[in-house]
Amino acid sequence: MEIDGIYNKVQTFYFPLVDFGATDFESTPVTFATGDVQVSIDGGNFANANATCNHEGNGIYSWVCTAAEVTGTRIVVTIIDQTDPKAWEDQCIIINTQMTATIEAGQGIIIGTVDNTHFTATTTALEATRQWPNTTEETTADSMIGKLICFTSGIALGEISDITDYALANSKEKYTYTAIVHTPGNGDRFVII
């Protein structure tokens, strides 16, 4: 299983465990011993990982890594039951931070949704609610000037423009940008880079 991760940041990854020799998920909580979870960073030797693993329910487990365990572009995590007989089938998680190492997993990217409640979007402006990385609107006027807005759904899908003005209006983030071809619709999604 390959997933994206954030470079050099404590985070939680989820993985399934399957009963050894069966096809059912391992739903009886298991205890991970030292050496059951190992990490290789960028093809290096495997070393014991932080073994903070929890049963989340229905055979799904979580592993909390340390920041140091994700300081490469490709991290391989093995989850191997060392007991005999085994309780679960061996698992592997491959964590890719190549893109996220550059932009720290999107911490510099904002995802928003067009909100026409108080202002109807045009080809040069819109009001929006923030979806990610948090739902707290930016209060500093002009803080988004010079960034790019890229529409990721709706009729304006794929259109990109530069932000020329920004303010908090009607408790929404209001973006003014160089004219695009299509008018985004209510609920259309976009990213700010």
Inform me whether the pLDDT recorded for 22 exceeds 70: yes
Tell me if residue 61 falls in helix, strand or coil: strand
Helix (H) or strand (E) holding 157: none
Q: What is the mean pLDDT of residues 17-34?
A: 88
Most confident option among 24-33, 44-53, 66-75, 174-183: 174-183
As a whole-number percent, the residues of the chain with pLDDT over 90 amount to: 60
Inform me whether the pLDDT recorded for 159 exceeds 50: yes
pTM: 0.55
In the chain the domains, ranked by start, together with CATH numbers, are 2-102 (2.60.40), 110-192 (2.40.10)
Q: For Cα atoms 58, 63, 68, give the angle at the middle one, nearest 5 degrees.
A: 170
